[in-house]
Amino acid sequence: MTRFITIFVLTLVTLFAVEMLNPVQQHVIIPFTSFLARLSAALILPFDSSVMAYGKVLQFKDTGFAVSIEAGCNGVEAAIVLIAAVVAFPGSWKARASAIVLGFLAIQVMNIARIISLFYLGNWNTDFFAWIHLYLWPTLIMLDVLIVFIVYLRYLSRSEKQGEAAAG
């Protein structure tokens, strides 16, 4: 466990520092965040004609309420935590890569749900929006990371047992 936590913390700090670099922000994080905004808009627009989208912004035509999806709202930090945990835990690189790709998708599905729910919540009540946005959703996203990681550990454990049974 001590080894796991040491590698985890080192990987986490390294990836987080890399994410903060200007070139990474300009060429990866900001375009990815804009993509998330466009994807959220594409999911909402067929069902709600009172919504319009431009750039990183989603806006209600009638009330004027708008949300801008910024860095920090893109699930990248949660993905970094998952990557650090997967890398720190012993396993084959194939299993690690699969866990990272599937885990990233799971985080982003949750994050899109977060963006859309916050957009509608904000139009209803801004105080409630702020509370859910700042405190509850980050907690739920981290729970998502935890669940993905525990499922991955169980998968590893099962694979090993099956491998041992086949060898025996």
The footprint of other proteins (CB under 8 A) covers 1, 5, 12, 16-17, 20, 72, 77, 81, 89-90, 131, 134-136, 138-139, 141-143, 145-147, 150, 153-154, 157, 160
Instruction: Provide DSSP, 51-73.
Output: EEEETTEEEETTT--EEE--TTS
Q: Which helix (H) or strand (E) holds 51?
A: strand 51-54
> Residue 157 Cβ, how far from other proteins at the closest point, in Å?
6
Of the two residues 60 and 104, which places its CB atom closer to other proteins in the complex? 104
Of the two residues 54 and 128, which places its CB atom closer to other proteins in the complex? 128
Of the two residues 53 and 151, which places its CB atom closer to other proteins in the complex? 151
d(CA 23, CA 25): 5
Q: In terms of residues, how long is the chain?
A: 168
Sheet of 66-68: strand order equals 51-54, 57-60, 66-68
> Residue 63 Cβ, how far from other proteins at the closest point, in Å?
25
> Residue 146 Cβ, how far from other proteins at the closest point, in Å?
6
Of the two residues 42 and 150, which places its CB atom closer to other proteins in the complex? 150
Yes or no: say if 115 and 73 are a contact pair by the CB < 8 Å rule: yes
Of the two residues 38 and 138, which places its CB atom closer to other proteins in the complex? 138
**DSSP category for residue 53:** E
Show Cβ contacts of residue 133 under 8 Å, excluding neighbours closer than 6 positions: 118, 121, 122
> Residue 17 Cβ, how far from other proteins at the closest point, in Å?
7
> Residue 58 Cβ, how far from other proteins at the closest point, in Å?
22
